[in-house]
Each structure stands twice: as C-alpha cells, then as structure tokens.
Amino acid sequence: MADSFEFPVDRTQVMLFARSVLDINPAFVEPDSPEAKANGGLVTPPTFVQSSAHYQPDYPLDLTRPRKDAPAAARSGGGGGGLGRGLHAEQHYEYHHPIHPGDVLTVTTKPGERWEKEGRRGGKLMFSESITEYTNQDGVLCVTARSIGVQTGRAVDQ
Amino acid sequence: MTLKVGDKHEQVVIENVNRTHIVKYAGASGDFNPLHHDDTKAKDLAGYPSVFAHGMLSMGLTGRMLTDWLGATALKKYGVRFTRQVWPGDTLTAKGEVTDVKEEGGKQLATIKVVTVNQNGESVVEGEAVAEV
C-alpha cells in the first residue's frame, strides 16, 4: 500500500528551510550566484524534502493545522518520530537527481519493515521503517528516503 | 576536488541551541511535535526535562558541513542514526572523514564517515555519506 501526494517546491520554502538549518549556501538561496548557476539554478539542502510534511494530507505531527475534516487522532510510528514516546531513530537519503524550485514532486510513501529490540535505556523498543520516493514533474526520481522510527516503553534516559 | 582516505573536515554547525532555533526548524520542516516546542508537554507527556531539538535539525545542520566541504550537489547518499538528543544550550560540531575512495567512470566516489558531537564530545548523530567529487 502506498500513499502519494504532490509537493510543489518553491523558492521561499527552500529559503526558510535553508535558514532553519543555518545553511545559507548561495546554491540554495541566491539564484544569480555562480554556485546556483553551476547547478542549473537553485538547488536544495540535503534534508530539504522533510518540508514536504506541509503538503502531506494526513501528517500526524501538526495537530493545529486547519483541516476540512475533523483532525485525525495523533498517530505514532510509521517511520519518523511520533507524539509522546515516538522518536526518530535513523534517516537515510539517496540522491538521484537535483531538486529545483519550481519542481512539483510526487511523494510516495510505503511502509517498510517492523522489528523489536530490548533497549539498554528505554525498555522494549519497537522500530518501524518507511520508504519515501520524491519524483519530479518529468517522472525523474530525485530522492529516495528511508526513515526509521522507534517507540520506547518510557522516556529515554539522558 | 580530489579526496583521499583520511581527509577530514569539521565545522561548528550551531552554537548554544535555543528555543528559537528549534521553533524555526519546526516552522520550516512542518514538524510541530510539541515535544520540540512545548516545555510543559515535553515534561508531562513524556517525562523529558525540557524540549529538545528535532533529530532532523541535527541532520540538517550536519548536512551543511558536508555541502560546504564537498559541494551543494555532491552527495549521492547521506544517512544517520540519532544517537543522543540535542538540548537547549548545546553546541554542535560536525565532523567528516573520508574512509574510502573509488574511481567510477572518471569520477571519484568518496565514502565519508560522519559524526556530530555536542560540547561534551558526545555524539548526537552518526552516519555515512557518499559523495561524487
């Protein structure tokens, strides 16, 4: 089972994201820079596709988003973090093709494996993986992301 | 650029993390999990001492070390494990070290071990990247 949605990439969102990771590389934010021109226009920071969450219809980590339907109950797991005891354990990207502002990406996510482990600090740990593909308007696969979330039995000790 | 095994790069990617940094990342990424911006919920809902930064903020900050070093579009792969939470007040240094270099079709593919540490030298992110340089 795979869910998909559209993620239009605009320059302002790229700028906001780049600032939020303190990365104002001209290749990401200055269209007339030599760095951008060398890449056929602005490109995006390595973890930029995270901001596709704004367009994910059932995104669980924004409970205040105005919605036409009654808000879905907060869900956890399914890769990535979750409310409460969910934490993001791992994130992996493969880059196939650059993403440029103006692209309209189709984002398709499917669940991956699930497994359990006894944690050293957090009791029983339940891991779940999700695989997300970001494909541009020309049908070119740009990024494949693999996210692993973990549910812990209690708050992680520090 | 040419890389060889053992080449290293490191960069302080954020100093003295504060709640504004974290909130800005929440707004940009869309991840409004209250554990990252609501101290009351972080304490009461999950028993944490305070809010903490998104793991993806650490990964994003660490990505800057890689693209500053290798180029904005050099990365072919980039993956991390989140090894420790990042709290307000932390300062993070991202470090990369080339562990393998292969020639492929006239291009160099470099494997880079990535670790980002806090001000106590404890890792918050550990992983690997592959770059075409």
pLDDT at B78: 98
Domain-embedded: residue A35? yes
**Amino acid letter, A17:** F
Determine the residue of chain A that is closest to B122 in CA distance.
A158
Domain that holds residue A30: 3-62+73-152
User: Mean per-residue pLDDT for A130-152?
Assistant: 96
> What's the distance, CA A62 to chain centroid?
14
Residue A89 maps to a domain:
yes
E strand or H helix that includes residue B55:
helix B55-70
How buried is B59 (Cβ within 10 angstroms: 0-12 exposed, 13-18 middle, 19+ buried)?
buried
Q: Is the ipTM of this complex over 0.90?
A: yes
Task: Average the pLDDT over B7-28 and give the result.
Answer: 98
The predicted-structure confidence for A35-84, as pLDDT tens digits, reads as follows 999 999 999 999 999 999 999 998 888 888 988 765 554 444 334 444 55
- Indicate the class that CATH gives domain B8-132: alpha beta
Query: Does some domain include residue A133?
Result: yes
Residue A155's pLDDT is 58
Contact A91, A36 (CB under 8 A): no
Q: What is the mean pLDDT of chain B?
A: 96
Provide the CA B71 distance to its chain's centre, in angstroms.
16
Q: Is residue A8 part of a domain?
A: yes
Which residues between 70 and 89 in chain A have a beta carbon less than 8 angstroms from any beta carbon of chain B?
Answer: 81-85, 87-89
The answer to whether position A68 is within a domain reads no
Mean pLDDT of the B12-39 span: 97
Q: Is residue A67 part of a domain?
A: no
Mean pLDDT confidence for B30-41: 95
pLDDT score, position B95:
98
CA gap B112, A115 in Å, rounded: 28
DSSP-assigned letter for residue A76: -
Residue B97: both structure tokens together: 């070290």
A residues 87-106 lying closer than 8 A (beta carbon) to B: 87-95, 98
Taking an 8 Å cut-off on Cβ atoms, the answer to whether B82 and A88 are in contact is yes
* Domain count within chain A: 1
B78 and A62: CB-CB below 8 Å? no
Mean pLDDT of B5-25: 98
* Cα A56-B41-B61 angle, rounded to 5 deg: 55
For residue B82, give the H/E element and its range: strand B75-82
Give the gap in angstroms from C-alpha A1 to the nearest C-alpha of chain B.
Answer: 24
Asked, for residue A158, whether it belongs to a domain, the answer is: no
Tell me whether A158 touches chain B (CB under 8 Å): yes
CATH code assigned at A24: 3.10.129.10
pLDDT at A120: 75
